[in-house]
C-alpha cells in the first residue's frame, strides 16, 4: 500500500478520536434533553479562546478549560434551552442557531478575525517514513480516555444511571424520585466539559479564530444523525467512518471534495436508514 | 377586502414614486431589501407549514451560479440561463425532497439533511475553483447597459425588476394561501399520518410547495447575482445563507405574507445602521445584536414581529372572540 495513503488513513483515525469525543457530548445532550445544540461546535471555539487567554497570558493549566466550558454549557441551558423545553423541536434547533450567530459575532467583536495559537507545538513522530503529529496522537489518546471515563460514569454512578434512565423514558423518571431539571443541568455541564476537553486537544493542533466552529460543526451533526441522534455507540463509530471518508477523499481529490463526499454520503444514508445507520 | 386592495395600490404607488426622491445609496438598500425580501418570502412558502429547510442556500447558489457560468463560458443570455438555473434548483429539490417526503424524514432530521445539501453545493462551488473561481468569487463579464445580458449599471432598472419580483413573490404566497391545497398543507403540518388517512396525497402536496419555493429562491439568487455582478460561495450559498434566510423570515413572521419582508427590512437596516454608526471598529457588533435578537424572538415571539402585532390588534379589537377561538383551536394558535 502507498505510504502516503497509509499516513492519510492514520491521520483520519486520529482526527476521528476528537470528533468522536464531541459526538459523545452532543449525543448525550440530545439523548437526555432532546435538543439539538447547533452551537455546540462554537462552545468549543469559546473554550479555545479561554485557553488562549488563560493559558498563554496567565499560564493557567489547560484542563481548567473543561470547567469553564462546563459552566458555559450550564449557562446556555438555563438561559436558552430551559425556557423553550416545551416548544416545537425545530424552534429549539433555531434558538441554538441564534446562539451560534451570537457566539461567532461576539467572538469577532472581542477578538477580531486574527488566527491565534498558544505557541505550543508538539513534535512530529517519524515511523518508517510515516509522519504522525504527536498532538494528534495525544488528542486521540485523551479522547479515548474521556470516552471510557464517560462510559464508567454513566454505568457506575447514580447520576449516570439517572441520565441513562431519563434518555429512555423522561416521564417515568420523575416517579423514581429523580429531579429532571437537576439531571438536565448535570448533562449540560458534562456536554460542556466534553466540549472543553475537545477544545484543549484542538488548540494543540489548530489556530483559533471566531469561525473555527464552522469547519467541523456541520460535520459533527452529520456524525450524530448518522449514528442515530442520542445513540452514543453509533455516533462513536460514525465519527470514524466520516473521518475516514474525509481523510481518504482528501488524499485522492481535495479537502472540499472530500467534504462533499462525506455530506453526500450522509444524505444518501439518511434515505437508506432514516433513523441512523445502527438503528434497530 | 377593498381596504386591502387600496393598501396594495397605495404601496405600489409609493414604491414607484420612491426612486425620484432617494439617493443612490438608499436605492441600493431598497433593492437589497426587496430582493432578500423576495427570497425570504420564497422560503416561507414552505417554512410556514413547518417544513423548515436549511437548504435554501443551495437553491440560491445554483440559481445564481448557473446563469453567470453559462454567460461567461458560452455567452448564453441570462434570459435562457436563469430558467436553466431554476430548472437545476428544482431538480435538486426533487432529488432531495422526494426521498425525504417518501421516507418521512421530518422535523430536525429534514432540517439537517437540507443543511447537508447547502454544504454540498457550497463546497462543490469552492472545489470547482478552476471554473467558478472558488472562494475568491466569480464576476460575470460586464458589457454595460444591455437587455440581452440583463445588465444595467443604472440602479433604476434593477429597482423596477426587484419591485416586480417582490410583488410576484407575494402573489404566489397569496395564491397558495387562498388555494384549496392550503387546507391540505395545514393538515399535513399538524399531523402527517392523520392527513394521509383522510386521503391527502402528502408526498405530492409537500413536494409541490418545496419545488415552488426552491424555484423562486433560485430566481431570487439569479437576479441578485445580475444586480451585484459578483458572486461568492459564502454570500449566495452554504449554511450561513440558509440560516440567514430562516432567521430573517422568523424574525419578521413566517405566518403572514409581509412578515419575511419586514424581516429583510429589519435585518438589513440594522446591519447598515450599525455599520454606519460604528464604522469598521466594531466588526461583528451588528451580528452580535442580531444573534441576541434571534434567540429572544424564538423564545418570546415565535410568531415574529408581524404575527405578534396582528395578534395584538386582533386581541384588542375583538378580545373575547379571539380568546374563545384560541380555546377552541389551541394547536393552531400556539404554533
Do residue B291 and residue A106 have CB atoms under 8 angstroms apart?
yes
Number of H helices, E strands in chain A: 10, 2
Specify the pLDDT at position B7: 78
Q: What's the whole-number mean pLDDT along residues A270-279? A: 72
Task: List the single range of A24-28, B264-268, B284-288 with lowest mean pLDDT.
Answer: B284-288
Chain B residues with CB inside 8 Å of A36's CB? Answer: 108, 112
- Euclidean distance between CA atoms B123 and A261, whole angstroms: 10
- The mean pLDDT value for A70-77 works out to 85
Cβ distance B112 to A221 less than 8 Å, yes or no, reads yes
* pLDDT over 50 at B327, yes or no: no
Chain length of chain B = 335
Q: pLDDT at position B331, please?
A: 44
Average pLDDT, stretch A21-29? 86
Chain A: residue whose CA lies nearest to B297: A95
Q: What is the pLDDT of residues B115-127, one digit of tens each?
A: 899 999 999 999 8
Shortest Cα–Cα distance, A265 to chain B (Å): 10
**What does the pLDDT read at residue A277?**
66
pLDDT at B332: 41
Cβ contact A94–B52 (<8 Å): yes
Report DSSP state, residue A129: T
CB contact under 8 Å between A259 and B105, yes or no, is no
User: Does the pLDDT of residue B220 top 90, yes or no?
Assistant: yes
Partners of B231 in the beta sheet? B138
In the predicted structure, residue A52 carries a pLDDT above the cut 60: yes
3-state class of B231 per DSSP?
A: strand
Q: What is the DSSP string of A169-233?
A: -TTGGGGGT--HHHHHHHHHHHHHHHHHHHHHHHHTTS-B-TTHHHHHHHHHHHHHHHH-TT-HH
- CA angle, A16 as apex, A147 and A28 as ends, to 5°? 40
Residue with cell 408581524: B306
Query: Chain B residues with CB inside 8 Å of A84's CB?
Result: 298-299
- Which tops the pLDDT comparison, B321 or A84? A84
Alpha-carbon separation of residue A260 from A223, B98, B120, B131 (angstroms): 14, 21, 5, 17
Residue B219: per-residue pLDDT? 96
Provide the mean pLDDT of chain A. Answer: 83
> Cα B334 to chain center, whole Å?
24
Q: How far is B335 from chain A (nearest CA, A)?
A: 8
Closest CB to B120 among A36, A105, A263:
A263
Counting residues of chain A whose pLDDT is more than 70, the rounded percentage is 96
B94 pLDDT tier (thresholds 50, 70, 90)? very high
Buried-exposed string B71-94: b where 16+ CB fall within 10 A, e elsewhere:
bbeeeebbeebbbbbbebbbebbe
The better pLDDT of the pair A120, A178 is held by A178
Q: What is the pTM of this model?
A: 0.85
B268-307 pLDDT tens trace: 888 888 778 776 666 777 778 878 888 888 788 777 777 7
Instruction: Give the count of Cβ contacts less than 8 A between chain A and B.
Output: 139
What pLDDT is recorded for position B103? 86
Q: B243 near B83, Cβ under 8 Å?
A: no
In tens, the pLDDT along B225-261 reads 999 999 999 888 888 889 889 888 888 888 888 889 9
Q: Is the pLDDT of residue B165 over 90?
A: yes
CB contact under 8 A, A105 and B287: yes
Mutate to test the interface with A, among B47, B98, B102, B108 (most CBs of A within 10 A): B108
* Category of B238 on φ-ψ map: left (φ > 0), alpha (ψ -120 to 50) or beta: left
Among all residues of chain B, which has the CA nearest to that of A36? B108
Minimum mean pLDDT among A18-32, A75-89, A146-160, B196-210: which range?
A: A75-89
With 90 as the cut, is the pLDDT of residue B210 above it? yes
Instruction: Provide the 3-class DSSP secondary structure of residue B21.
Output: coil
| A1-10, B79-88, B184-193: segment of lowest average pLDDT | A1-10
The conformational region for residue B199 under phi > 0 = left, psi -120 to 50 = alpha, else beta, is left
Could you tell me the pLDDT band of residue B153, with boundaries at 50, 70 and 90? confident
Check A270 against B105: CB less than 8 A apart. Answer: yes
CA distance B46 to A17: 39
Contacts of B32 (CB under 8 A, 6+ apart): B264, B268
Mean pLDDT of A184-207: 86
Residues 6+ apart with CB under 8 A from A196: A43, A44, A47, A65, A66, A67, A68, A69, A70
Average pLDDT, stretch B185-192? Answer: 86
Mean pLDDT of A29-43: 84
Q: Which of A36, A95, A218 sits opposite B108 (nearest CB)?
A: A36
Residue of chain A whose alpha carbon sits nearest to that of B116: A263
Average the pLDDT over A99-116 and give the result: 84
Give yes or no for a contact between A235 and A224, defined as CB atoms under 8 angstroms apart. Answer: yes
The 8-class DSSP code of residue A123 comes to P
Chain B residue with CA closest to A218: the answer is: B116
Distance from CA of B318 to the nearest CA of A (A): 27
Using one digit for the tens of pLDDT, what is the confidence trace for A252-271?
Answer: 888 888 889 989 988 888 88
B260 CB burial (10 A radius; 0-12, 13-18, 19+): buried
Confidence of residue B25 (pLDDT cuts 50, 70, 90): confident
Report ipTM (2 d.p.).
0.82
A108-122, A125-139, B153-167: range with highest mean pLDDT: B153-167
Residue range A78-100: average pLDDT? Answer: 81
Nearest-Cα distance to chain B for A260, in Å, is 5
Instruction: Determine whether the interchain pair B288/A106 forms a contact, defined as Cβ–Cβ distance below 8 Å.
Output: yes
Closest CA to A16 of A256, A180, A186, A262: A262
Does A102 contact B295 at a Cβ distance shorter than 8 Å? yes
- Smallest CA-to-CA distance from A255 within A265, A264, A246 is with A246
From the list B246, B283, B335, the residue facing A94 with the nearest CB is: B246
Amino acid at each position: 500500500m502507498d505510504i502516503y495513503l497509509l499516513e492519510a488513513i492514520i491521520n483520519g483515525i486520529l482526527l476521528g478520536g476528537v470528533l468522536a469525543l464531541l459526538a459523545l457530548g452532543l449525543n448525550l445532550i440530545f439523548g437526555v434533553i432532546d435538543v439539538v445544540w447547533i452551537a455546540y461546535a462554537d462552545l468549543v471555539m469559546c473554550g479555545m479562546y479561554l485557553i488562549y487567554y488563560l493559558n498563554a497570558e496567565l499560564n493557567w493549566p489547560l484542563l481548567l478549560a473543561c470547567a469553564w466550558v462546563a459552566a458555559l454549557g450550564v449557562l446556555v441551558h438555563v438561559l436558552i434551552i430551559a425556557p423553550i423545553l416545551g416548544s416545537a423541536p425545530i424552534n429549539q434547533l433555531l434558538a441554538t442557531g441564534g446562539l451560534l450567530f451570537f457566539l461567532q459575532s461576539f467572538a469577532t467583536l472581542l477578538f477580531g478575525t486574527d488566527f491565534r495559537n498558544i505557541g505550543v507545538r508538539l513534535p512530529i513522530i517519524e515511523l518508517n517514513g510515516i509522519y504522525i503529529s504527536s498532538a494528534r496522537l495525544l488528542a486521540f489518546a485523551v479522547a479515548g480516555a474521556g470516552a471510557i471515563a464517560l462510559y464508567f460514569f454513566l454505568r457506575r454512578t447514580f447520576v449516570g444511571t439517572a441520565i441513562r434512565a431519563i434518555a429512555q423514558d423522561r416521564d417515568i423518571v420523575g416517579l423514581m424520585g429523580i429531579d429532571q431539571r437537576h439531571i438536565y443541568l448535570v448533562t449540560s455541564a458534562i456536554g460542556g466539559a466534553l466540549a472543553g476537553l475537545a477544545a484543549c486537544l484542538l488548540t494543540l493542533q489548530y489556530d483559533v479564530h471566531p469561525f473555527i466552529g464552522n469547519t467541523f460543526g456541520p460535520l459533527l451533526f452529520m456524525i450524530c444523525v448518522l449514528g442515530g441522534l442520542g445513540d452514543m455507540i453509533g455516533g462513536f463509530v460514525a465519527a470514524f467512518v466520516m473521518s475516514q471518508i474525509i481523510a481518504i477523499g482528501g488524499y485522492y481529490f481535495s479537502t472540499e471534495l472530500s467534504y462533499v463526499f462525506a455530506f453526500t454520503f450522509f444524505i444518501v444514508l439518511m434515505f437508506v436508514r432514516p433513523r441512523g445507520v445502527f438503528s434497530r | 377586502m377593498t381596504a386591502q386592495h387600496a393598501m396594495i395600490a397605495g404601496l405600489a404607488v409609493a414604491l414607484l414614486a420612491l426612486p425620484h426622491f432617494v439617493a443612490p445609496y438608499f436605492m441600493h438598500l431598497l433593492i437589497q431589501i426587496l430582493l432578500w425580501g423576495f427570497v425570504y418570502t420564497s422560503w416561507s412558502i414552505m417554512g410556514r407549514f413547518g417544513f423548515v429547510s436549511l437548504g435554501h442556500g443551495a437553491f440560491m447558489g445554483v440559481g445564481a451560479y448557473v446563469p453567470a457560468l453559462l454567460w461567461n463560458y458560452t455567452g448564453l443570455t441570462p434570459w435562457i440561463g436563469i430558467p436553466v438555473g431554476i430548472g437545476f434548483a428544482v431538480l435538486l429539490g426533487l432529488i432531495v425532497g422526494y426521498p425525504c417526503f417518501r421516507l418521512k424524514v421530518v422535523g430536525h432530521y429534514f432540517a439537517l439533511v437540507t443543511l447537508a445539501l447547502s454544504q454540498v453545493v457550497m463546497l462543490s462551488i469552492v472545489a470547482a475553483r478552476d471554473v467558478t473561481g472558488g472562494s475568491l468569487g466569480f464576476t460575470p463579464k460586464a458589457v454595460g447597459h444591455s437587455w440581452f445580458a440583463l445588465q444595467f449599471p443604472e440602479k433604476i432598472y434593477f429597482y423596477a425588476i426587484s419591485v416586480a419580483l417582490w410583488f410576484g413573490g407575494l402573489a404566489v404566497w397569496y395564491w397558495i394561501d387562498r388555494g384549496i391545497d392550503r387546507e391540505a398543507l395545514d393538515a399535513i403540518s399538524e399531523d402527517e399520518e392523520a392527513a394521509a388517512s383522510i386521503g391527502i396525497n402528502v408526498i405530492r402536496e409537500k413536494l409541490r410547495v418545496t419545488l415552488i419555493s426552491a424555484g423562486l429562491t433560485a430566481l431570487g439568487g439569479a437576479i441578485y447575482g445580475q444586480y451585484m455582478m459578483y458572486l461568492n460561495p459564502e454570500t449566495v450559498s452554504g449554511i450561513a445563507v440558509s440560516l440567514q434566510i430562516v432567521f430573517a423570515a422568523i424574525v419578521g413572521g413566517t405566518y403572514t405574507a409581509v412578515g419575511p419582508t419586514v424581516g429583510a427590512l429589519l435585518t438589513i437596516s440594522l446591519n447598515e445602521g450599525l455599520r454606519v454608526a460604528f464604522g469598521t471598529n466594531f466588526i461583528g457588533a451588528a451580528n452580535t445584536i442580531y444573534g441576541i435578537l434571534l434567540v429572544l424572538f424564538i423564545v418570546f415571539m415565535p410568531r415574529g414581529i408581524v404575527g405578534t402585532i396582528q395578534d395584538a390588534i386582533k386581541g384588542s379589537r375583538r378580545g373575547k372572540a379571539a380568546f374563545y377561538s384560541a380555546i377552541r383551536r389551541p394547536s393552531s394558535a400556539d404554533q
